[in-house]
């Protein structure tokens, strides 16, 4: 029987629900060397967190994340809070010898990310840290990464990565913590752009050496949300809140070796719901992916034939935990895969990827985007 690994989670909103599902299901889907136990969940509101614990399957609840870290039954701290608190919690947990899974983006600044990466380096290998770029665990993306690594695309010449959503298209869409720099660090850039940047770096295995960028806030003021729960920290004047993060960013860049890159993230692309789109053109082949059809990967080999792979075959990444061919997976399965890989890495005592150093690398790109948008000039990463 597999050994137990006690999980303590901070935060129980969107990401907390998705991660809880992963911890509940990973050992049923996959042969994992460690059996996660949902020891305790933490949130500031005692009633809310107790209800979340009951509903999401956690044995206990806490209201202070420092208490959570100190619990003997917590071996791994899973951080699902807004970016502003990532650094403090992650560093404390790692310093306390606990493994850490931290949602993306790693922190709200390069300085925070550097401190976190330093903490991860000094905690290893006793405590291991991973950042939650879950899209690396979409089977189609994992397959794409291995194809690129195997040379199937040849030399990469062009990369296009965009992450398009539209929940802020409407100027009357309400404010939330995601629209405030103090909590979220940035807007579409950190929330969506960080995924796009991580995937460009991960899929190509190359550094993004320089960027030139614009950021834009199309709607500078938004109404307060009707009900609470928005996590807004700012005082609102006259029923509206100033938006101090970007609605969108758009960048041009270069990979080591000379490939061109276009990068974009937006929350105002009307009609796009969750369109993380990737396209890589290599000398031998091209690939294309859209998160709205995440079971599919399109490969072009120069013969005018786009091969739409349905990535649900048993020998494709992660699929062995699931169902027969054609029984498609959803967005949330990626978190189960993430949990599997993290448990495997902890059991083997090896560094899980994406590491905090990987997270830092993304943060440096986000920072270069901000600097370029401010200065109007190319920025080295």
Concatenated DSSP letters for 143-175? Answer: HHHHHHHTTTT-SEEEEEEEEE--TTSSTTSPP
- Do residues 141 and 354 lie in contact, with contact meaning Cβ atoms separated by under 8 Å? no
CA distances (Å), origin 325, targets 143, 191, 316, 319, 328: 15, 32, 10, 9, 8
Cα gap 354→205, rounded to integer Å: 12
Q: Which is nearer to a copy of itself, 83 or 352 (CB)?
A: 83
- Residues 97-156 binding a copy of itself (CB under 8 A) are 154
- Residues 4-43 binding a copy of itself (CB under 8 A) are 14, 17-18, 20-21, 24-25, 27-29
Q: How many residues bind a copy of itself (CB under 8 A)?
A: 91
Instruction: Determine, following the binding rule CB under 8 A, whether residue 323 of this chain makes contact with a copy of itself.
Output: yes
Q: How near is the Cβ of 369 to a copy of itself at its closest, in Å?
A: 11
Secondary element (H or E) of residue 276: strand 275-282
Q: How near is the Cβ of 331 to a copy of itself at its closest, in Å?
A: 4
Q: How near is the Cβ of 283 to a copy of itself at its closest, in Å?
A: 6
Instruction: Determine, following the binding rule CB under 8 A, whether residue 344 of this chain makes contact with a copy of itself.
Output: no
Instruction: Determine, following the binding rule CB under 8 A, whether residue 158 of this chain makes contact with a copy of itself.
Output: yes
Here the tokens at position 348 are 């083997």
Cα gap 86→241, rounded to integer Å: 24
Instruction: Determine, following the binding rule CB under 8 A, whether residue 181 of this chain makes contact with a copy of itself.
Output: no
- Residues 56-95 binding a copy of itself (CB under 8 A) are 56-57
Q: How near is the Cβ of 266 to a copy of itself at its closest, in Å?
A: 6
Q: Which is nearer to a copy of itself, 72 or 303 (CB)?
A: 303
Name residue 5's beta-bridge partners. Answer: 36
Options 4, 44, 66, 284; binder of a copy of itself; rule CB under 8 A? 284
- Residues 240-259 binding a copy of itself (CB under 8 A) are 248, 250-252, 254, 258
- Give the position of tokens 């397959």: 143
Options 70, 218, 224, 345; binder of a copy of itself; rule CB under 8 A? 218
Cα gap 221→216, rounded to integer Å: 13
Q: How near is the Cβ of 106 to a copy of itself at its closest, in Å?
A: 22
Closest CA to 229 of 16, 45, 104, 21: 45
- Do residues 295 and 329 lie in contact, with contact meaning Cβ atoms separated by under 8 Å? yes
Q: Which is nearer to a copy of itself, 58 or 65 (CB)?
A: 58
Closest CA to 41 of 58, 57, 22, 20: 58
Instruction: Determine, following the binding rule CB under 8 A, whether residue 207 of this chain makes contact with a copy of itself.
Output: no
- Give the position of tokens 């997270």: 359
Cα gap 242→219, rounded to integer Å: 9
Q: Which is nearer to a copy of itself, 64 or 292 (CB)?
A: 292
Name residue 261's beta-bridge partners. Answer: 159, 253
Options 285, 342, 365, 366; binder of a copy of itself; rule CB under 8 A? 285
Instruction: Determine, following the binding rule CB under 8 A, whether residue 271 of this chain makes contact with a copy of itself.
Output: yes
Instruction: Determine, following the binding rule CB under 8 A, whether residue 268 of this chain makes contact with a copy of itself.
Output: yes
> By CB under 8 A, which span of 105-113, 173-181, 327-335, 358-366 interacts with a copy of itself?
327-335
Query: What is the C-alpha end-to-end distance of the chain, expressed in Å?
Result: 47
Q: How near is the Cβ of 347 to a copy of itself at its closest, in Å?
A: 17
Q: Which is nearer to a copy of itself, 266 or 367 (CB)?
A: 266
């Amino acid at each position: 029987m597999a050994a137990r690994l006690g999980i303590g989670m901070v935060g129980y909103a969107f990401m907390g629900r998705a991660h809880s599902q992963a911890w509940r299901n990973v050992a049923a889907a996959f042969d994992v060397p460690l059996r996660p136990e949902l020891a305790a969940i933490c949130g500031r509101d005692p009633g809310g967190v107790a209800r979340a614990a009951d509903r999401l399957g956690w044995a206990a609840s806490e209201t202070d994340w420092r208490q959570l870290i100190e619990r003997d039954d917590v071996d791994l701290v899973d951080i699902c809070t807004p970016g502003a608190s990532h650094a403090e919690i992650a560093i404390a947990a790692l310093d306390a010898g606990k493994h850490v899974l931290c949602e993306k983006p790693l922190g709200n600044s390069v300085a925070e990310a550097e401190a976190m990466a330093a903490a991860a380096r000094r905690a290893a290998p006793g405590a291991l840290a991973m950042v939650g770029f879950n899209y690396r665990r979409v089977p189609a993306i994992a397959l794409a990464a291995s194809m690129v690594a195997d040379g199937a695309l040849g030399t990469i010449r062009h990369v296009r990565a965009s992450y398009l959503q539209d929940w802020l298209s409407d100027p009357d869409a309400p404010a939330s913590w995601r629209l405030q720099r103090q909590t979220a660090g940035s807007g579409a850039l950190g929330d969506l752009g960080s995924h796009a940047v991580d995937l460009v770096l991960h899929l190509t295995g190359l550094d993004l050496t320089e960027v030139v960028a614009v950021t834009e806030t199309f709607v500078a003021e938004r109404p307060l949300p009707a009900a609470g729960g928005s996590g807004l920290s700012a005082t609102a004047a006259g029923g509206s809140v100033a938006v101090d993060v970007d609605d969108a960013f758009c960048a041009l860049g270069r990979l080591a070796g000379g490939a061109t890159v276009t990068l974009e993230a937006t929350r105002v692309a009307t009609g796009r719901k969750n369109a993380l789109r990737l396209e890589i053109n290599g000398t031998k082949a091209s690939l294309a992916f859209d998160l709205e059809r995440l079971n599919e990967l399109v490969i072009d080999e120069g013969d005018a034939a786009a091969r739409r792979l349905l990535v649900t075959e048993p020998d494709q990444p992660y699929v062995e935990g699931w169902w027969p061919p054609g029984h498609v997976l959803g967005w949330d399965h990626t978190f189960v895969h993430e949990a599997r890989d993290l448990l495997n890495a902890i059991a083997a005592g090896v560094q899980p990827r994406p590491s905090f150093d990987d997270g830092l690398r993304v943060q440096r790109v986000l920072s270069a985007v901000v600097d370029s948008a401010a200065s109007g000039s190319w920025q080295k990463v």
